A and B are shown apart, each in its own frame.
Chain A
Amino acid sequence: MGSKTFVQKVVGAKKMHLVYRIIAVVFLVYAFTWGLIGPVPAKPNLEETIRNLYYHVPMWFGLVLLAFCSFLFSVFYLLKGESEADQLAESFALTSTVFGVLGFATGMLWAQYTWGNWWAGDVKQICALASILVYGAYFVLRNAIAEQQQRARVAAVYNILAFFSLIPLLFIIPRNAEFSLHPGGQGSGAVGNPAFNKYDLDNRMRLVFWPAIFGWFSLGLWMTHQYFRIKVLEIKKMLS
């Protein structure tokens, strides 16, 4: 086989795969069962929908972390030129987008029951949609270039730009919005930082919330790995 490249070593690390698969299964089973039957604080208007916190918020954590991984592998591709790094970056971008769409969907469902509308025009909904559009453009760009190496390089360049454009969309604009229905916004009664520890979390919920975040992120890694393997097989088939 010869010496393996860095990315091949990362992808081929069997023990690491075992760790996140176990975390994903155990934590998600726990989050699904105890998240639905466990105790939650009774908040007016939120009521039982507060349980959506276990599904909606981990999606955003997943989106940011997976987009960050995708960004790292794009940088790595530009520096080292290993084509696997590009495929891995693409896989991460895809799972990140899937998480973004799911976060958006769970958010809309929540908005329908608490704010009374699927689309409430909230600043975070707007920025979330914009960030999904940014990554949508990444896939359009990839499909627009036929030549492999050219595609990998241009896509990596755009992916780095895309990650940096997530920063104002997810961390700057929501913070200086005059009005937001999300926790931390002025519409919710509390003012200031929309960080997650200002959510109406109590200690009982934290016991589900954090495992859910790790569980979903691990599932994201798992999905990325599977998608990457499909990509590699496709390329092998194309070359043979």
Chain B
Amino acid sequence: MIIQEVKQLLRKEWTVEWRQKYAIQGVFWYSLTVVFLCYLAFGSLKPFVWLSLFWILSLFTAVNAITKSFVGESKGGMAYFYTLFSSKSVLAAKIIYHWMLSLFLSLVLLGFYSLLLGSPVQKYDLFFTGIFLGNTGLAVALTFLSAISHKARSGASVMAVLSFPVLIPTILLGIKISKMGMDGLPWSTATHEMGQLSGIILLTGALSFLLFPYLWRD
């Protein structure tokens, strides 16, 4: 039942996204432009700066892409969904959609970034695991935070104020794991951090599902 609902909602997200192409195009060109700007500003980068800058760019890309998620939903539209779907499936669909979106965007970003600024990564599997986990964390937390800031109806600045401090642990652990991949360290060195990051993701996810009904109800 829930899986069916989530599928329908995902199709709806995709249709809406595809109908107003400007949003996803905007984020795409945004990442290209910002990478180009970094290339012009920095020229070449030391490995650790390369990594940190990449994470900061992907944080901003993700925040940009996800902020608008609930803004698109009008009050009437929300009430309409409320009668059709359970709040859990709405949230699940949003999270899954944003998760795929932010992974896709950070891969696009990584492509441009490596093309223009080179790539010091030595061990891609561990590096990608870091990016994968980090982006999962970003998608889960940002989906919930965008629902909160949507209720505040005050646009992007509240979203940034709310999300950046909450995301610090996720970003730090993501940087740590992908840095081990960049330095070509063995997997066993990163298991501790991977466990912690997964714990944070599960905790944020569980909290979102527990608390989302309270935001939803008007």
Binding site for B on A (CB under 8 A): 78, 130-131, 133-134, 136-137, 140-141, 144-145, 150, 153-154, 156-158, 160-162, 164-165, 167-169, 172-173, 176
Q: Is B76 an interface residue (CB 8 A)?
A: no
- Taking CB atoms and an 8 Å cut-off, the chain B residues in 152-175 that contact chain A are 152-154, 158, 161-162, 164-166, 168-169, 172
Indicate if the CB atoms of A160 and B172 lie closer than 8 Å.
no
- In the assembled complex, B211 has its CB within 8 A of some CB on chain A: yes
* CB contact under 8 A between A153 and B214, given known A137-B162, A169-B168: yes
- Ordered by A's residue number, 17 sampled pairs between the chains whose C-beta atoms are within 8 Å are A131-B165, A133-B165, A136-B161, A137-B162, A141-B149, A144-B152, A144-B153, A154-B152, A154-B215, A161-B145, A164-B203, A164-B207, A167-B203, A168-B169, A169-B169, A173-B169, A176-B193
Q: Is B12 in the interface zone, CB < 8 Å from A?
A: no
Q: A145-B152, A160-B211 are in contact. Are A176 and B169 (CB under 8 A)?
A: no
Residues of chain A lying within 8 A (CB to CB) of residue B148: 141, 154, 157-158, 161
How close is B18's CB to chain A, nearest CB, in angstroms?
Answer: 31
A107 CB to nearest B CB, Å: 18
- Inter-chain contact B158/A144, CB cutoff 8 Å: yes
Bound together, the chains give a CA A133 to CA B145 distance in angstroms of 15
A205 to B158, CA, bound (A): 45
Are B211 and A137 within 8 A (Cβ)? no
| Besides A140-B161, A176-B196, 18 new A-B residue pairs in contact (Cβ under 8 A), listed by A number | A131-B165, A136-B161, A140-B158, A144-B153, A154-B148, A157-B214, A158-B162, A161-B166, A161-B204, A161-B207, A164-B207, A165-B166, A165-B169, A167-B203, A169-B168, A172-B196, A173-B172, A176-B193
A144 to chain B minimum Cβ distance, whole angstroms, is 4
Note all chain A residues with C-beta closer than 8 A to B152.
Answer: 141, 144-145, 154
Q: Which residues of B contact A158 (CB under 8 A)?
A: 148, 162
Q: Is chain A's interface secondary structure helix, strand, loop, or mixed overall? A: helix
Report the Cα distance A137→B149, complex, angstroms: 11
Cβ of A169: which chain B residues have Cβ within 8 Å of it? 168-169
Chain B residue with the shortest CB-CB distance to A161: B207
B144 on the interface (CB 8 Å rule)? yes
CA distance A128 to B151 in the complex (A): 28
| Bound form: Cα–Cα A156–B148 in Å | 11
Cβ-based interface call for B200 (8 A): yes
For the complex, is B19 an interface residue (Cβ under 8 Å from A)?
no
A84 vs B149: C-alpha distance when bound (angstroms)? 23
Write out the residue numbers on chain B whose beta carbons fall within 8 Å of the beta carbon of A144.
152-154, 158
Contacting residues, chain A, for B164 (C-beta < 8 A): 133
Nearest residue (CB) in B for A135 is B165
Q: Give B contacts to A, CB under 8 Å.
A: 144-145, 148-149, 151-154, 158, 161-162, 164-166, 168-169, 172, 192-193, 196, 200, 203-204, 207, 211, 214-215, 218
CB-nearest residue of chain A relative to B176? Answer: A176
A141 touches B214 (CB 8 A): no
Chain A residues within an 8 Å CB radius of B153: 144-145
Instruction: Give the distance to chain A from B59, nearest Cβ to Cβ, in Å.
Output: 14
CA distance A150 to B144 in the complex (A): 16
Given known contacts A176-B192, A176-B196, is B165 in contact with A137 (CB within 8 Å)? yes
Whether the pair B214, A156 counts as a contact (CB closer than 8 A) is yes
Residues of A within 8 Å of B166, CB to CB, are 134, 137, 161-162, 165
What is the CA–CA distance of A24 and B50 in the complex, to the nearest angstrom? 51
* A-B residue pairs, 7 tightest by C-beta: A133-B165, A168-B169, A144-B152, A134-B165, A144-B154, A154-B151, A137-B161
The minimal Cβ–Cβ distance linking B80 to chain A, given in whole angstroms, is 20
Q: In the bound complex, what is the Cα–Cα distance between A131 and B204 (angstroms)?
A: 16
Q: How far is the CA of A145 from the CA of B152 in the complex (A)?
A: 5
Which residues of B sit under 8 angstroms from A156, Cβ to Cβ? 214
Contacts of A161 in B (CB 8 A): 144-145, 148, 166, 204, 207, 211
**A141 contacts B172, C-beta separation under 8 Å:** no
User: Which residues does chain A contribute within 8 Å of B161, judged by CB atoms?
Assistant: 136-137, 140-141
B172 contacts across to A, CB distance below 8 A = 173
Neighbouring B residues of A164 by C-beta, 8 Å: 203-204, 207
Give the residues in chain A near B207, CB-CB below 8 Å: 160-161, 164
